[in-house]
Chains A and B, each alone.
Chain A
Amino acid sequence: MVDDSRARKLDGLIEEYARGRISRRRLAKRATALGGLGFVLAALGPGLRSAAAAPRVRPLSLASARQDTQPITEMTNEELLAFYDEVLPFKEILAMEAGEVGGSPLRIGFSQTGFNHPWRVEMIKSAQAEVARHPNVELVITDGNVDIRKQNNDVDDLLAQEVDAVVMSPVESAGLAPAALKVMAAGKPLVLLDRDVEVGKTVFIGQSNVTMAKGVGEVMVRMLSGKGSVVELTGLIGSSPAIDRQKGMNEALAAAPDIKVVATGDAEWIRDPAVRLMDDFLVAHPEINAVFSHAEESSWGAQFSIARAGRCADNILQFTHDASNAGFQSVKDGLFAADGNYSPFIGDVGVRAALMTLQGMEIPDLQDYEFEGKLYRLPDLPVVTAENVDEWLGKGWGDSAPPENPCAQ
């Protein structure tokens, strides 16, 4: 029944790619070439393959309304239901009644990138909140450890557990194409969240970093009255969200020829490179009207630098992205002029899309796009500014406090 050699070849390919021996393009090509009937057989028999490689079976985290406390988030069902009502911004998208779905128990696998960032935990929280509403639905959660190989193995394990559908947020687009191929070959619905793969899927659900950053950029253009000098602190150079956020900013600035980006630096999403860059930019440019940063952490770093340079009185406006609760608090405190609202709370939409597909219901507003499968583009959430921050306080992710505004002292 099972074509082990194809499966082994596929594993070998993943291994080679993870070690950097073959390019993305080559991996995608060769993995697709492994398709056909033999590949389908291999993918259909993951249970047998996992049994052969016994040590690979790892304990998985199971969430369902039948247990009191859910794994990873350690929240009770009551807390999750309250969180669903009060916080989740996309609950009207693919809206679904609470209660049993269909007649039989359903099991959904959720392959998460890893739990290296609270954003990832919050995404799981939103998925668990959806599951808490449906007593016959279980969620099996795996932790990809931010590692291509681990996440590919996780998806194998989910298929071995005979989940009814897979929701996955891939650590990397090309590296998880083999996993996506396996799920599709097994005939199960595959919902991808936040990051896409170029091969087939049921639906990819994501927000756009480009339009979000464009929204932030438009607020910046408005607040600067169309003229001024801006410094840009990017996310890790070459990473796709950093490329997209830069693109969005440039689209907004295309309409404001009198706003000049006088310097750009790689702040790596974090605080310490931003401090160094801002130190230098402040020295190089006696007039800076705004900082356009791709991440809140970098913006806080820039603010330290501004205060230390004695430039608080310049009233340099900070435009940023991330949508954490700490960031919203900083908007409230006046430290940030605007915060782009890139929400992690999309796990519930993913679970609903999987449940709807399993019930044979049609997902509305699906689009065809450049890759195989369908696209569901989530609408941009409003940019959070002083005007609407009161509605958003507490509806972001994470629970840490923002640093005090060094310019407020």
Chain B
Amino acid sequence: MGMQRSLPAERILGRGHPRVDAREILTKYGTVIALLLLVVVASFASPRFLSPVNLMNVLRQTAIVGVLGIGMTFVILTAGIDLSVGATLALSAVLLAGTLDATGNIWLAMAAALLVGAFVGLANGLGVTLGRVQPFVMTLGMLGIARSLAFLYTKGEPIPVLEMDFLKLGIGYLWRIPVPSIVFLALLAVAAFALHYTRFGRSVYAVGSNEEAARLSGISVGRDKVLVYVISGLTAAAGAILYTAQFAAAPAIAGEGYELDAIAAVVVGGTSLFGGQGGVVGTFIGALIIGILSNALNLMGVSPFAQPLAKGALIILAVLLVGRGRRS
């Protein structure tokens, strides 16, 4: 990935450039303010909220949806959407568990998962670009296909994962931080770098801001679009690795509804569904907001009937807050 800074495309498309302006600051602060407010409310609501064990729990609980959110951010930045990530996670997970069961080789199993994820992403990307199928429709179809393949592969029965070395990835700690969270943060750093310091990252913003202008300025829009879906497929596969390592089983229903959680994290994090605005750091904060809310509701003993209401209201509130920042 090149580091040249003076491509014609970027000079023309100032909006995609990672410069800091007032609107962006407000947008970012809106999310951070929401996060801080939530932390304060949660720590008053439950004295145990700020205990180290609980904070580590929140970090671990956030990791899988957060990882899916990274890939989702790339897709949404190009004004696309990927509804297939939960199902891709399931398909990758069952193939990972199946490979692990057959070979006992952790690396081969993880490679299989990543390969499947990349392949599903490639299919999505080609459908959207070459096939000109709307992203919503393409990935909705893929959701069904991947989920069904996972069911066919497992015949409905979860595949247990008993390889202790592999499970350490899900339940272990490194520097007292849960390994899944470290994986999440590492992927986040890579993604932030790619988005802000590479030519590819800048063209993702350009494509999302104005596809036609991006094309005219020499960006190969099709290739970049295919790439963002491949990235989303890969992060879904990374999510699958964390899922199977954390729960020691790969059921075909794994990750059901995760696509909506990932989209919520991206949107709460301030990335616009219309593309071109936002970023993965916002998604990190968005994932934390949703994770903390869910954690606090459980700590407070809120009835499971009422929890979705609170989460729904929070999503709308957070976006309202960020939207205010964006308009002013």
Measuring CB to CB, which residues of chain A are less than 8 angstroms from any residue of chain B?
Answer: 115-118, 120-121, 234, 237, 262-266, 270-272, 275-277, 279-281, 283-284, 297, 300-301, 304, 308-309, 398, 400-404
Which residues of chain B are within 8 angstroms of A120 by Cβ–Cβ distance? 156
What is the chain B residue whose CB lies nearest that of A114?
B156
Is B220's beta carbon under 8 Å from chain A? no
Q: Contact: B61 with A404, CB < 8 Å? A: no
Which residues of chain B are within 8 angstroms of A308 by Cβ–Cβ distance? 171
B48, B248, B252: which contacts A284 (Cβ < 8 A)? B48
Is B301's beta carbon under 8 Å from chain A? yes
- In the complex the two chains form, what is the Cα distance from A284 to B51 in whole Å? 10
Which residues of chain B are within 8 angstroms of A401 by Cβ–Cβ distance? 160, 162
Q: Contact: A400 with B160, CB < 8 Å? A: yes
Q: Contact: B299 with A403, CB < 8 Å? A: no
Which residues of chain A are within 8 angstroms of B222 by Cβ–Cβ distance? none
Which residues of chain B are within 8 angstroms of A263 by Cβ–Cβ distance? 298, 301
B57, B159, B160, B301: which contacts A279 (Cβ < 8 A)? B57
25 contacts between A and B (CB under 8 A): A116-B151, A116-B156, A116-B252, A117-B156, A117-B157, A118-B155, A237-B304, A263-B301, A266-B307, A270-B251, A270-B253, A272-B247, A272-B254, A276-B298, A277-B298, A279-B61, A281-B298, A283-B48, A283-B54, A284-B301, A297-B251, A300-B249, A301-B247, A401-B160, A403-B248
B51, B157, B246, B251: which contacts A275 (Cβ < 8 A)? B246
Q: Contact: A284 with B249, CB < 8 Å? A: no
Is B53's beta carbon under 8 Å from chain A? yes
Q: Contact: B51 with A283, CB < 8 Å? A: yes
Q: Contact: A276 with B61, CB < 8 Å? A: yes
Give the Cβ gap from B51 to chain A, nearest Cβ, in Å: 7
Q: Contact: B247 with A275, CB < 8 Å? A: yes
Which residues of chain A are within 8 angstroms of B162 by Cβ–Cβ distance? 401, 403-404
Sample of 20 more A-B contacts, CB < 8 Å, known A275-B247, A284-B300, A401-B160: A115-B156, A116-B252, A117-B156, A117-B157, A120-B156, A237-B304, A262-B301, A264-B304, A270-B253, A271-B248, A271-B249, A272-B243, A279-B61, A283-B51, A283-B53, A284-B299, A301-B247, A398-B157, A403-B248, A403-B249
Q: Contact: B304 with A266, CB < 8 Å? A: yes
Binary interface encoding of chain B residues 146-173 relative to chain A, with 1 for a CB under 8 A from any of its CBs, else 0:
0000010001111110100000000100
- In the complex the two chains form, what is the Cα distance from A403 to B166 in whole Å? 14
| Residues 242 to 295 of chain B near chain A (Cβ within 8 Å) | 243, 246-249, 251-254, 294-295
Which residues of chain B are within 8 angstroms of A118 by Cβ–Cβ distance? 155-157
Is B46's beta carbon under 8 Å from chain A? yes
Is B305's beta carbon under 8 Å from chain A? yes
- In the complex the two chains form, what is the Cα distance from A262 to B303 in whole Å? 11
Which 7 residue pairs are nearest across A and B when measured between Cβ atoms?
Answer: A280-B298, A266-B304, A279-B57, A284-B299, A283-B54, A116-B156, A271-B247
Which residues of chain A are within 8 angstroms of B253 by Cβ–Cβ distance? 270
Which residues of chain B are within 8 angstroms of A266 by Cβ–Cβ distance? 304, 307
Which residues of chain B are within 8 angstroms of A264 by Cβ–Cβ distance? 303-304
- In the complex the two chains form, what is the Cα distance from A203 to B251 in whole Å? 35
- In the complex the two chains form, what is the Cα distance from A118 to B51 in whole Å? 41
Give the Cβ gap from B99 to chain A, nearest Cβ, in Å: 17
B57, B155, B156, B171: which contacts A280 (Cβ < 8 A)? B57
B57, B158, B294, B304: which contacts A400 (Cβ < 8 A)? B158
| Residues 87 to 136 of chain B near chain A (Cβ within 8 Å) | none
A234, A270, A280: which contacts B299 (Cβ < 8 A)? A280
Q: Contact: B305 with A237, CB < 8 Å? A: yes
- In the complex the two chains form, what is the Cα distance from A272 to B46 in whole Å? 24
Q: Which of A234, A264, A277, A308 has the most CB of B within 10 A?
A: A308
Give the Cβ gap from A61 to chain B, nearest Cβ, in Å: 15
- In the complex the two chains form, what is the Cα distance from A266 to B157 in whole Å? 21
Check A284/B160 contact, CB under 8 A, given A270-B253, A276-B61, A403-B248.
no
Which residues of chain A are within 8 angstroms of B171 by Cβ–Cβ distance? 304, 308
- In the complex the two chains form, what is the Cα distance from A398 to B251 in whole Å? 14
Which residues of chain A are within 8 angstroms of B307 by Cβ–Cβ distance? 266
Q: Contact: A304 with B298, CB < 8 Å? A: no
Give the Cβ gap from B63 to chain A, nearest Cβ, in Å: 11
Check A271/B156 contact, CB under 8 A, given A262-B301, A280-B57, A280-B298.
no
Which residues of chain A are within 8 angstroms of B158 by Cβ–Cβ distance? 271, 297, 400
Which residues of chain B are within 8 angstroms of A400 by Cβ–Cβ distance? 157-160
Give the Cβ gap from A112 to chain B, nearest Cβ, in Å: 12
Which residues of chain B are within 8 angstroms of A304 by Cβ–Cβ distance? 171, 247-248
Which residues of chain B are within 8 angstroms of A277 by Cβ–Cβ distance? 298
B156, B159, B246, B304: which contacts A265 (Cβ < 8 A)? B304
Give the Cβ gap from B89 to chain A, nearest Cβ, in Å: 11
| Residues 41 to 67 of chain B near chain A (Cβ within 8 Å) | 46, 48, 51, 53-54, 57, 60-61
